Structure formats: C-alpha cells, structure tokens
Structure 1
Amino acid sequence: MKYALVWGTSARHNPQNCGLSQHLEDEDVVQVVKKKEREGGRGRFKSHSNAPARIADREKKAPLKQ
C-alpha cells in the first residue's frame, strides 16, 4: 500500500491522505492506492509486443494484388 484516502467523520478534511495507522470510524469511506509495479517500457506508453519501436524499422508489406 502506498497511501489511503479517507472520507468521513474520522478525517480532518475530505479526502484526507493517511497511512496504516489511521483510526477509522463507522461509515468512513476508504480508497487504497497501491504502489506502482516496476515494469520495463517507456513510462505510460509500454510496448507489449515484439514490434520495432520506430515505424521506419517495420517491414514493408507486399502491395495488394489488383
């Protein structure tokens, strides 16, 4: 867990960023944010295929027959 957001009577302001030691009360709403898993790739644009990274490096397809 990275952190949690809490809405409700146990929070000083809504939403409150908190950790594992936060004391919760009845009917509080909690959103848990997990740590990001480390993966290869380029930021949010991750390549899941074996295709070349650049368009210029792709193989040319045969022209269509007419």
Structure 2
Amino acid sequence: MAATRLTVPSASEVMIAEWGTTGKSLGNLLNQSRGFLDYRMIWAVAAGFVLPSVLIYQPVVTMERRIL
C-alpha cells in the first residue's frame, strides 16, 4: 500500500520526464504556454495532471485505512 501511495502522485514527475526526453506532449505545451503567458492553458495542463492524481490517490488511502 505504501508503494501505491507513492506512485499515484507521480504524474507531475512523468510530465517533467517526458518533456525532458522528448520535448513534446503536455510538458512541451506547458512550456510553450508559459512562454506566451497563456495562464489559462498553464492551469488547464496542470489540472490535467494533478486532478487525476488526487482522484486516484483518495481511494487508495481509503482502501489502506480499511485494510489496516
């Protein structure tokens, strides 16, 4: 359960890794939006990674509490 709790929020780390290795996808979109000062797109991309992490993390914590 501890490993699951640690891996779920890693979506932001994956975004940084994919941008660093490929220079494409959402990491690149985030960087371009920052350059154009497009704050709506910056928040949309960030929410696209953070919200799923939070939505998956909460059931994992609930399941862990029930097991323990």
Q: TM-score range, shorter-chain basis?
A: under 0.3
**1 or 2, which has the higher helix percentage?**
2
Q: RCO greater where, 1 or 2, for CA within 8 Å and sep 6 or more?
A: 2
Please, what TM-score do these two structures have when normalized by structure 2? 0.20
Computing the radius of gyration over CA atoms, which structure comes out larger, 1 or 2? Answer: 1
- TM-score normalised by structure 1 residue count: 0.21
Q: 1 or 2, which has the higher strand percentage?
A: 1
